[in-house]
Amino acid sequence: MTNRTFYKVGRRPWEVKGHPDGLQERKRTRVPFTRRHWLKWRDSHNPKNLQRERVLADKKPLWWAIALSLLVIVTPFLPNSMISTASIFCIYAAINVLWTLIVGTAGIFSLATLAVVGVAGYSAAAANVYLGVPWPFMLLIGPLVGFIAGAVLAAPSTRLDGLYYALLTMGVAEICRVFVVQLRALTTTNGAITQVDSFIPEAWFLQRPGLLLGFAGAFCLLLGALLVWRLVNSERLGLLLRASRGSREDESFCEAVGIDFRRARLQVFVISSAALGVVGAFYAMYYRSISPNIFSLDQLLLLFAMMVIGGLGRAEGAVLGAAIVTLIDKGMIELGPLRIILVAAIMLIVTIFAREGLTGARDQFRDFRKRKAGERRAHRTEKGGEAMPEEAVDVRDKQELYYRRFNKRLRDRLKPMITPELIAEHKADPLGHHSDALARVLNYFRRAEMVDKYVIMRLKDGEEAYRIMAVSGVRGMPPRVVDDKEYQALNDAYHAVFLLRVNDLLES
Amino acid sequence: MDLGLVVYALNLAAIYALMAIGISILWSSVGMINMAHGATFAISGYAAWLVTGALKPVVAATFGKTVLASGVMAAALVSSALLAGALCGAVIYALAFLPIHDKPNYPVRALIITLALNIGTVQGLLYFFGPRNQGLPKIFGFGRWEIWGAKIRYDQAGTIVGAAVIMGLTLAWLRYSRRGLEVRAMMQNAEGAAYSGISRQVTALPILMLTGALAGMAAALLSQTIFVSPTAGVVPLVKGLTIALLGGLGSVPGAMIGALLIGFLEAIVGAIPFLGQRYVMSATFAFIILVLIVRPRGIGGLLDDTRE
Amino acid sequence: MAHLTRYSLTSESRRLILKPELLQINQLSAGYGPLRVLHEIDLTVRAGERIGLVGLNGHGKTTMMRAITHMTGWQQGSIRFNGVEIGGNRSQGAGRRTPGLVKMGIAVAPQGDAIFPGLSVRKHLECGAHTKLAWRERRQRIAQIYKIFPALDPLQDALVGKLSGGERRMVSIGRMLMADAKLYLIDEPSLGLAPKISKRVMEALWALPVEGAMIIAEQNVSLLTGRADRIVGMHAGRMRGDVGHVELV
């Protein structure tokens, strides 16, 4: 092929495209022990130059990898206070991701997330302090307690819906708080369990190495939470639940086709509660203590603000929101109560303008653009009149639509040109040198599609007898006879075809 | 059960009912769970505190220590609280209703916006006024009556009577006035209301202002018993919300019955010696959870017998 | 669809032609999102005219009613009502202008009735009296509606949510009649009703002593023939045939 420049085709000229060698076989590495691939590549051919192209269809893993590796690389160089902020961010983000699993994937509006964390944390800490269980076992006690708490909490969720369940879980959190504060054994510390053993050696606590170790742990926790998210939300359970989300009809549909979405919901709830139990045990170890503050409404509202700012029901929203709110809440401590006002203001503005938080803004914009485009197309069809908008959505080659519109306009322009004089001119000389108007009309006729195109058939070899036929346009299907008129001169036949075509043009 | 306990229960019930009815009416007519109800409550309390504080010297100078002076103070307190509540309602209308009321996801977004307003207001009040409790003048005066051996404080009696009067007026307004009819029509079918010439934007403003004024009234009455503080709104909000839910969101009679039930429950639990005030909240929640598990649509579900 | 064989202008219709135009719809298109339901509709309604709008399910009858009251997703084109332009381009805010249009004098009995289940029949009818005059003399008007629909009289204090489908339809039409409108839009008055009851509802509709024009959307042409001044057909979102008095073969 010569060295010609091909301009990119399609609506996404900015997309980075790979050009793999056309002779090479396509190969992708799989995640070990599974049939999944690491990245979702889409192979295609450029319709213009037929070169092989390779596009990353889903760029989310890339963004995740960049953001998380940035966090790991940058944090060790930060001052001590910022390191602890980063660790707290990781813990909150992990809680949020698991909460998103409950609210978004399972669709249960639970406010008992922190209560589960707190109950598991308290149990693990109590086991450590009062029973002398060594700290690695706390990470087993935590999920166990979380599992039980989740199972207990999940039971009424099948019966109550929406707000009623939210209220119930809020009540559970309050009951937990009161219970802990009232405990006789803890009155000296105001309900807190202190002196919890931890993976951070006591000498390092609140020192730089201890903080870094704590951050490492918190980061692993976040990775674990994201793994749980991936395994639950994008695998079987998540798919089952995705079918049932949306409306009552969807739920009825699921029941009709045998998807037990209630069971799936409970399973997701219990799984994420167990995971929250791990977070609770970690929380107790990270701070070496746990206080009833974790059950308080303020803390819950702060977490809720994170989810809302990032976007309810999305893992990336949960993490982004946690980052923003933690930065404001812990990073700008000198602002005092103003920082909560700032969080509230961000929450307010984001909610007024964005349908689904910051991470949903892109989709919202796309929807808006799509809606506008659809409406514009619907408005426009009045002028084109060729493709109904419903049809226009289905036609894959959009050029077809423009071609139809062009033809329609051309016809509209040609119609007034057809006058008795024009027809007389053609009758006088079908093949000769024509006027501009007639030349234009004939040009249009020549470009017509093969379907139903008129042709002239000589009836017998050597004889001057002609008939007019129409081509079927389908290979192997013979032309059909239009009428049984016979023409004795070729010019008459030419003119008859012309008249038929003019008739079709005027009728269209 | 002695009479004092009954009066105490009624006192609680009156204030809870004021909050819960506001939340209930708002949910069914405007479709919004108003989490900023607590903020309205706190702001009204502070407004009344500021106004009465400013008026005190003036009133003392003009009327001296007469009955008229305390009457003027009472009027100033109640009217300023009502006005501040109504203004808060207007602000909520402008922020949480008008920009998004015909956009997708409206109920959840309205809830989040009002929640943000609530958090912001509490922190803002803390920032401006500090965490100190402020006492309001006692409009009903100090003292108590002795009826059948029970002691009834003036402020308790005043609260019960005041709340009953305000609620009666509200219900009568809803029931008999033309605007009330429009509100009720909108509560039941928004499209039908539009075809009857009832505009959602126009009707929502008075509803929000009314419910705000109800919260303001609750603040004025409760300030006779407790102090005004930035976080004063949180407990009435939570109580109002739970009672509205108990009553089956949207049902006004359900909310009133719920308020009575919870008022008596709290009074009784608080009076039991070994349980005491500390377990009041837990007992309330436990009771509501129990009711909701038995009747998922709350008390209102029992009262409603029309078919869809 | 029925074959429309013979049509001629009756003397009644001829008299109507002299009346002023009440509603002029010009090149009205409307739809929901990317879906376009109405295609450049033209229709003129004169004061006092009763128009039957016929057409199959899903061919745009209801959408046209909704477009006149701004209840569709988007619309464009001109609608002149009583000399005031109420159409125009609009791509969002379904229902925002509807109450205003109702106050201008368009009364609607929508499809599915849009009733208030928790209100009594009397209160329900009062809701319809949105003008000052109607509100002042609501008692007389309600009494009049009981005269038109005698079945409603014993049900005055019953909740509308407990009524049967036919009674609901009567309540819905009664609410529409409470204020003096210039244009009455009635969507599928016979939908979902037993034939006997739907006939009775239609009889009541024809007997209404209203001054304004009336558009009745109906699938069952036989309920309209002989009574409507004009019958307009709708097919695939376009006007098909605008004929005078029609007789059915």
Interface test with B, best of C68, C90, C97, C116 (most B CBs within 10 A): C116
Tokens of A17: 């495209």
What lies within 8 Å, CB to CB, of C11 at 6+ separation is none
Q: Write down the pLDDT at residue A123.
A: 92
The average pLDDT across B9-34 equals: 86
What percentage of residues in chain C have a pLDDT greater than 90?
0
Interface test with A, best of B91, B125, B280, B292 (most A CBs within 10 A): B292
Q: Write down the pLDDT at residue C146.
A: 87
Q: Which residues of C touch A (CB under 8 A)?
A: 27, 29, 31, 33-36, 39-40, 74, 76, 91
- pLDDT tens per residue across span C92-110: 777 788 888 888 888 888 8
Between A251 and B308, where is the model more confident? Answer: A251
Asked if C135 reaches chain B (Cβ–Cβ under 8 Å), the answer is yes
What are the beta bridge partners of residue C108? C185
Return the top range by mean pLDDT from A161-175, B81-95, B132-146, C191-205: B81-95
Per-domain boundaries in chain B: 17-230
Q: Write down the pLDDT at residue A51.
A: 81
User: Which residues in chain A are closer than 8 Å to C39, comparing Cβ atoms?
Assistant: 382
- pLDDT tens per residue across span C171-185: 888 888 888 888 889
Asked if C242 and C217 count as a contact pair (C-beta separation under 8 A), the reply is no
Instruction: Kindly indicate the confidence band of residue C249, based on its pLDDT and cuts at 50, 70 and 90.
Output: very low
Instruction: Kindly indicate the confidence band of residue A225, based on its pLDDT and cuts at 50, 70 and 90.
Output: very high
A374 → closest Cβ in C27, C33, C40: C33
Q: Write down the pLDDT at residue C241.
A: 66
Q: Which of C126, B126, B103 has its CA nearest to residue A339?
A: B126
Interface test with C, best of B196, B202, B203, B308 (most C CBs within 10 A): B196
The average pLDDT across B268-284 equals: 74
Q: Write down the pLDDT at residue C134.
A: 83
Instruction: Kindly indicate the confidence band of residue C245, based on its pLDDT and cuts at 50, 70 and 90.
Output: very low
**Shortest CA distance from C36: residue in chain A:** A378
Q: Write down the pLDDT at residue A388.
A: 55
Q: Write down the pLDDT at residue A11.
A: 58
Asked if A248 reaches chain B (Cβ–Cβ under 8 Å), the answer is no
φ/ψ bin of C90: left (φ > 0), alpha (ψ from -120 to 50), beta (otherwise): beta
Asked if B69 reaches chain A (Cβ–Cβ under 8 Å), the answer is no
Instruction: Kindly indicate the confidence band of residue A425, based on its pLDDT and cuts at 50, 70 and 90.
Output: very high
**Shortest CA distance from C114: residue in chain B:** B192
| Shortest alpha-carbon distance between residue A246 and chain C (Å) | 19
Across the interface, do B116 and A175 touch by the CB < 8 Å criterion?
A: no
Asked if C69 reaches chain B (Cβ–Cβ under 8 Å), the answer is yes
Instruction: Kindly indicate the confidence band of residue C248, based on its pLDDT and cuts at 50, 70 and 90.
Output: very low
Residue A216 has pLDDT above 80, yes or no: yes
- The secondary structure of chain C, three-state, reads CCCEEEEECCHHHHHHHCCCEEEEEEEEEEEECCEEEEEEEEEEEECCCEEEEECCCCCCHHHHHHHHCCCCCEEEEEEEECCEECCCCECCCCCCCHHHHHHHCEEEECCCCCCCCCCEHHHHHHHHCCCHHHHHCHHHHHHHHHHHCHHHHHHCCCEHHHCCHHHHHHHHHHHHHCCCCCEEEEECCCCCCCHHHHHHHHHHHHCCCCCCEEEEEECCHHHCCCCCCEEEEEECCEEEEEECEEEEC
Asked if B276 reaches chain A (Cβ–Cβ under 8 Å), the answer is no
| Shortest alpha-carbon distance between residue C91 and chain A (Å) | 8
What average pLDDT is seen over chain B? 83
Across the interface, do C108 and B195 touch by the CB < 8 Å criterion?
A: yes
What average pLDDT is seen over chain C? 79
- pLDDT tens per residue across span A237-286: 888 888 887 677 788 888 888 888 888 999 999 999 999 999 999 999 99
Tell me whether 0.90 is exceeded by the ipTM.
Answer: no
Asked if A168 reaches chain B (Cβ–Cβ under 8 Å), the answer is yes
What average pLDDT is seen over chain A? 85
Instruction: Kindly indicate the confidence band of residue C8, based on its pLDDT and cuts at 50, 70 and 90.
Output: very low
Asked if B100 reaches chain C (Cβ–Cβ under 8 Å), the answer is no
- pLDDT tens per residue across span A80-102: 889 999 999 999 999 999 999 99
**Shortest CA distance from B131: residue in chain A:** A337
CATH label of the domain that carries residue C234:
3.40.50.300
The average pLDDT across A358-378 equals: 82
Across the interface, do B293 and A156 touch by the CB < 8 Å criterion?
A: yes
Instruction: Kindly indicate the confidence band of residue B11, based on its pLDDT and cuts at 50, 70 and 90.
Output: confident
B112 → closest Cβ in A163, A297, A308: A308
User: Which residues in chain C are closer than 8 Å to A377, comparing Cβ atoms?
Assistant: 34
User: Which residues in chain B are closer than 8 Å to C119, comparing Cβ atoms?
Assistant: 181, 184-185, 188
- pLDDT tens per residue across span C108-131: 888 877 888 888 888 888 888 888
Asked if A420 reaches chain B (Cβ–Cβ under 8 Å), the answer is no
Asked if A388 reaches chain C (Cβ–Cβ under 8 Å), the answer is yes
C32 part of a folded domain:
yes
Across the interface, do C29 and A393 touch by the CB < 8 Å criterion?
A: no
Q: Write down the pLDDT at residue A272.
A: 94
Domain enclosing residue C60, as ranges: 1-105+215-249
Interface test with C, best of A368, A375, A383, A395 (most C CBs within 10 A): A375
A160 → closest Cβ in B282, B286, B292: B292
Count how many pairs of residues, chain B against chain C, have C-beta atoms within 8 Å: 84
- pLDDT tens per residue across span B176-226: 888 888 888 887 888 888 888 888 888 889 889 999 999 998 888 887 777
Asked if A171 and B271 count as a contact pair (C-beta separation under 8 A), the reply is no
Across the interface, do A389 and C36 touch by the CB < 8 Å criterion?
A: yes
The average pLDDT across C5-10 equals: 42
| Shortest alpha-carbon distance between residue C6 and chain B (Å) | 38
Between C2 and B16, where is the model more confident? Answer: B16
Q: Which helix (H) or strand (E) holds A481?
A: strand A480-481
Tokens of C3: 């074959």
Q: Write down the pLDDT at residue C240.
A: 73
User: A105 burial class (0-12, 13-18, 19+ CB within 10 angstroms)?
Assistant: buried
Return the top range by mean pLDDT from A396-405, B146-155, C40-49: C40-49
User: Which residues in chain A are closer than 8 Å to B120, comparing Cβ atoms?
Assistant: 340-341, 344-345, 348
Q: Write down the pLDDT at residue A118.
A: 93
User: Which residues in chain B are closer than 8 Å to C160, comparing Cβ atoms?
Assistant: 306
| Shortest alpha-carbon distance between residue A96 and chain C (Å) | 35
What percentage of residues in chain B have a pLDDT greater than 70?
90
Q: Write down the pLDDT at residue A460.
A: 84
Residue C244 has pLDDT above 70, yes or no: no
**Shortest CA distance from B191: residue in chain C:** C114
The average pLDDT across B55-72 equals: 78
- The secondary structure of C218-248, three-state, reads ECCHHHCCCCCCEEEEEECCEEEEEECEEEE
Instruction: Kindly indicate the confidence band of residue C14, based on its pLDDT and cuts at 50, 70 and 90.
Output: very low
Give the count of domains, chain C: 1
The average pLDDT across B14-24 equals: 88
Between C229 and B305, where is the model more confident? Answer: C229
Angle between helices B106-129 and A297-310 (to 10 degrees): 130
User: Which residues in chain B are closer than 8 Å to A109, comparing Cβ atoms?
Assistant: none
What percentage of residues in chain A have a pLDDT greater than 90?
32
Residues 280-339 of chain A whose Cβ lies under 8 A from any Cβ of chain C: none
Q: Write down the pLDDT at residue C5.
A: 37
Asked if A221 and A68 count as a contact pair (C-beta separation under 8 A), the reply is no
Instruction: Kindly indicate the confidence band of residue C11, based on its pLDDT and cuts at 50, 70 and 90.
Output: very low
Between A92 and A57, where is the model more confident? Answer: A92
Q: Write down the pLDDT at residue A384.
A: 45
User: Which residues in chain A are closer than 8 Å to B119, comparing Cβ atoms?
Assistant: 301, 305, 340-341, 343-344, 347
Q: A445-449, B62-66, B215-219, C193-197: which has the minimum mean pLDDT?
A: B62-66
| Shortest alpha-carbon distance between residue C38 and chain B (Å) | 22
User: Which residues in chain C are closer than 8 Å to A393, comparing Cβ atoms?
Assistant: 34
Instruction: Kindly indicate the confidence band of residue A54, based on its pLDDT and cuts at 50, 70 and 90.
Output: confident
Instruction: Kindly indicate the confidence band of residue B28, based on its pLDDT and cuts at 50, 70 and 90.
Output: confident
Across the interface, do B285 and A171 touch by the CB < 8 Å criterion?
A: yes
A348 → closest Cβ in B33, B95, B285: B95
| Shortest alpha-carbon distance between residue C101 and chain B (Å) | 8
**Shortest CA distance from A336: residue in chain B:** B127
What lies within 8 Å, CB to CB, of C119 at 6+ separation is B181, B184, B185, B188, C127, C159, C160
Q: Write down the pLDDT at residue C157.
A: 85
- pLDDT tens per residue across span A61-72: 899 999 999 999
Q: Write down the pLDDT at residue B308.
A: 40
- Give chains near B: 3+ CB pairs under 8 A: A, C
Give dist(CA A99, CA A313) in Å, integer.
9
Q: Write down the pLDDT at residue C7.
A: 42
- CA-to-CA dists, residue A31 to A35, A37, A38, A61, angstroms: 7, 6, 6, 14
Across the interface, do A344 and B116 touch by the CB < 8 Å criterion?
A: yes
Q: A140-154, A316-330, A338-352, C148-162: which has the minimum mean pLDDT?
A: C148-162
Tokens of A137: 């076992």
- Give chains near C: 3+ CB pairs under 8 A: A, B
